Structure 1
């Protein structure tokens, strides 16, 4: 295929963005070595990171281009082992991008909790309480199904003894959500060291939603 119909041409900018996002995640410490993977959707096409390549060493041509059935349309390297999870995200959500990390605090929380409760109101950006998907071997349909169930209605899910998945309308938002989730996990760990964390109530979270929906006005007006 040539010209505008060539998937490699259609997705060139997205492949570059995937590489840039991988470098940002590595610099932030959310991925190390070849751990973690990313994807982004463009219509009926999905660009994913390849298997076995460190995210801070990616080049655009390294990133395979797939259709929603998983057929490889461009790229010479094998797609990430978590391809079934990424494709499942696009079949079941309106997400435009997905970020899977093995970040330290997310792994720690996901190794001891069945959910991450909302200690801070910014958890609302992820849907409030973050569920922890039961453990399954990486790259398996069982893991993909488990994580997609935990992700239902949320912008992120933790993966027991494994890591985390964050989604968003684009790579910037998905990366922001991954960073927020790691921060919230860190807050939970530190709060737990001091005592029993105080979890925000549903009424308190609703009040935040209502407050954010109101236009701001100077006090006294």
Structure 2
């Protein structure tokens, strides 16, 4: 493996660990639940199963190929490896974040799709769907997730949590945070007796999506 390749893998692993720690610090996971991954060429770096994130260091990198064969490290990859690999095989994703965020998980038990309570839904490609329940770590769960992710960059997993992806770990994490916040807003508004939240129309959401195409700094 070339020095450049090794450096890229080392940097990506550092970002994976930092993002995993952030999910715990910001309350999106408890203990060692949830998992994070990043793709470097044909290698997927992924958090290991059952290891507290604060114990992970530069020498603990875990890598697999797109078929799930371990090619780097001695720790066992997360049990949700099929979920991560399904995203990479089915999209141009460079990073995936899976959490058990409280409000999003609560919403996953209530609705087949997150109500359009805020235009943040546009950041995930449209109304966020809830994938049907399947046991963690199974190909069935990965298949349900892929269907829910069609034309989206995030979804809920029923009675389980969230999955988002992006071109970077920062982008994937931001989408997770936006999804959790949007679910919290809907739950909060729905809890007021005698009132129902107003929702955006599909047309209003499309208007936001068009506006976002020119959003941000040039270059």
TM-score by length of structure 2 reads 0.91
Q: What is the alpha-carbon distance in structure 1 between the residues aligned to residue 55 and residue 176 of structure 2?
A: 20
Structure 1 residue 211: deviation in Å? Answer: 3.8
8 A Cα contact 1:98 1:174, kept in partner: yes
CA-to-aligned-CA distance 1:145-184 (integer Å, 9 cap, x gap): 1111111110100000000001110100000001111001
> Taking structure 1 as reference, are residues 153 and 210 closer, same or farther at Cα in structure 2, changes over 3 Å only?
closer
The count of residues paired between Structure 1 and Structure 2 equals 214
The match for 1:94 among 83, 92, 95 is 92
Structure 2 unaligned runs (5+)? none
| Correspondences of 1:98-113 after superposition (within 5 Å) | 98-113=96-111
8 A Cα contact 1:35 1:54, kept in partner: no
8 A Cα contact 1:15 1:61, kept in partner: no
Q: What is the alpha-carbon distance in structure 2 between the residues aligned to residue 8 and residue 76 of structure 1?
A: 17
Residue 33 of structure 1 is matched in structure 2 by 31
Structure 1 residue 8: deviation in Å? Answer: 5.3
Q: What is the alpha-carbon distance in structure 2 between the residues aligned to residue 84 and residue 6 of structure 1?
A: 28
Residue 204 of structure 1 is matched in structure 2 by 204
Structure 1 residue 88: deviation in Å? Answer: 0.7
What SS does structure 1 have at the residue aligned with 2:32?
coil
Q: What is the alpha-carbon distance in structure 2 between the residues aligned to residue 79 and residue 15 of structure 1?
A: 13
What SS does structure 2 have at the residue aligned with 1:164?
strand
Residue 121 of structure 1 is matched in structure 2 by 119
CA-to-aligned-CA distance 1:133-152 (integer Å, 9 cap, x gap): 00001001101111111111
Root-mean-square deviation (Å): 2.0
Structure 1 unaligned runs (5+)? 216-221
Structure 1 residue 214: deviation in Å? Answer: 6.5
TM-score by length of structure 1 reads 0.91
8 A Cα contact 1:26 1:56, kept in partner: no
Structure 1 residue 210: deviation in Å? Answer: 3.7
Residue 219 of structure 1 is matched in structure 2 by none
Structure 1 or 2, whichever has the larger Rg, is 1
The answer to whether structure 1 residue 81 and structure 2 residue 79 are counterparts is yes
